Amino acid sequence: MVVQETELVDFPCPICENVDYDVIHPDTLDNCLPEFGYDFNSRHSDHYRIIRCQSCSHGYCSPRPADLYRSYIDVEDSEYLKNTTQRLETASLVIETIRKIKLSGRLLDIGPATGDFLSIAKKYYDSDGLELSKWAANIAVKKGHTIHSCRLSELVTNTDYDIITMWGVIEHFEFPKDEIIEIKRILAADGIVCFWTGDIDSWLARLLGSKWWYIQGQHIQYFSQRSLDKLFDEQGFKRIYTARYPYVMSLESMAKSLGRYPFIGPLANAIFSNSLFGKWTITFRLPGELFAIYQKQVNQ
Ligand SMILES: [Zn+2]
């Protein structure tokens, strides 16, 4: 548990700049920093106050520290390494969809962590990644990937990218509009942005409320289809694909992530942890796991 040292700042809506909001989940961090990484310990779901914009319905954390991105530089997460096979299987499914739109070209994966998606992507595309965590970037480089260890605004490129991917990344952005402007800067005319994030308007998110699995301390943006469309439309992008994200998970790691739910969590753990069944994988396509592709319009 790390005590918060920086002051918390109030933010307007990052999508439409409106300052009127409804509080949907009060702060549960109690002056501590959130957990970064995916070991799903007991503090993993503690979060800053989550509010929804009264104008565009976007959900986001406010107040919160103004420079959370710094927290990612020193993130180390050995638990993450255990799920490599699942991520490779997910990447293979996702690439099939991307290849229906673009068969070749230059690809940038933002937030590639240890580079599992890149391992699949580089079979088809000239691919590199941009990663802030030094630990994760080192592992990706050892796998033979090209990794830029800088912020998106600092990335210099001679040739524009055709495809930019972000898997479970945009909900971590402090200022999503600034990041989309940077993406537009390095994307070719008719280039595409492919990503996965949570959908706060999905029926499952509404049903689970504060128990929805996307409610995590490190997630500070909670998008809906409406707020995503507004964000991208205003920067000259058009949505060309939406589906449920195909998430491959072993039964053992499913049990681990269910740990936040009473009764079902301990039960799943007892059945699947360290058992033969635990290694079996299932592909989930759950309501609230949004997979979207937006295309930069040629005249932008
Ligand atoms: Zn708004």
Break the chain into its structural domains and give their ranges. Answer: 82-296
Say yes or no to pLDDT of 7 above 90. no
* Distance (Å) from CA 13 to ligand 1 centroid: 5
Q: Note the Cα 195 to chain centre separation in Å.
A: 8
CA-closest candidate to residue 180, choices 152, 218, 219: 152
Is the domain covering 82-296 a CATH 3.40.50.150 domain?
yes
For residue 257, name the pLDDT band (cuts at 50, 70, 90): confident
CA of 248 to the centre of ligand 1 (A): 33
Q: What is the mean pLDDT of residues 276-296?
A: 89
Calculate how far, in angstroms, residue 133's C-alpha sits from the geometric centre of ligand 1.
30
- Give the angle subtended at the CA of 106 by the CAs of 297 and 227, to the nearest 5°: 40
Q: What is the pLDDT of residue 38?
A: 63
User: What average pLDDT does the segment 98-120 reach?
Assistant: 97
Contact predicate 41/213, CB 8 Å: no
Does position 168 have pLDDT exceeding 90, yes or no? yes
Q: How far is the CA of 205 from the centre of ligand 1 (A)?
A: 19
pLDDT tens-place string over residues 127-156: 999 999 999 999 999 999 999 999 999 999
How many angstroms separate the alpha carbon of residue 219 from the centre of ligand 1? 17
The pLDDT of residue 6: 73
Q: Please give the DSSP secondary-structure letter assigned to residue 175.
A: S
Phi, psi of 163 (to 5 degrees): -135, 130
Summarize the chain as % helix, strand, coil (round to 5). 30, 25, 45
Q: What is the mean pLDDT of residues 252-280?
A: 78
Nearest to 69 by CA among 198, 199, 220: 220
Q: What is the CA(228)–ligand 1 centre distance, in A? A: 11
pLDDT exceeds cutoff 90 at 237: yes
Note the pLDDT of residue 112: 96
pLDDT, averaged across the chain: 91
Residue 20 Cα to ligand 1 midpoint, Å, equals 8
Compute the distance from residue 15 Cα to the ligand 1 centre, in Å: 5
CA distance 130 to 155: 9
Average pLDDT of span 33-42: 72
Asked whether the predicted pLDDT for residue 73 surpasses 80, the reply is no
Residue 74 has pLDDT above 90, yes or no: no
Dist. CA 51 → ligand 1 center (Å)? 10
pLDDT reading at 70 higher than 90: no
pTM above the 0.95 mark? no
**Eight-class DSSP state of 8:** P
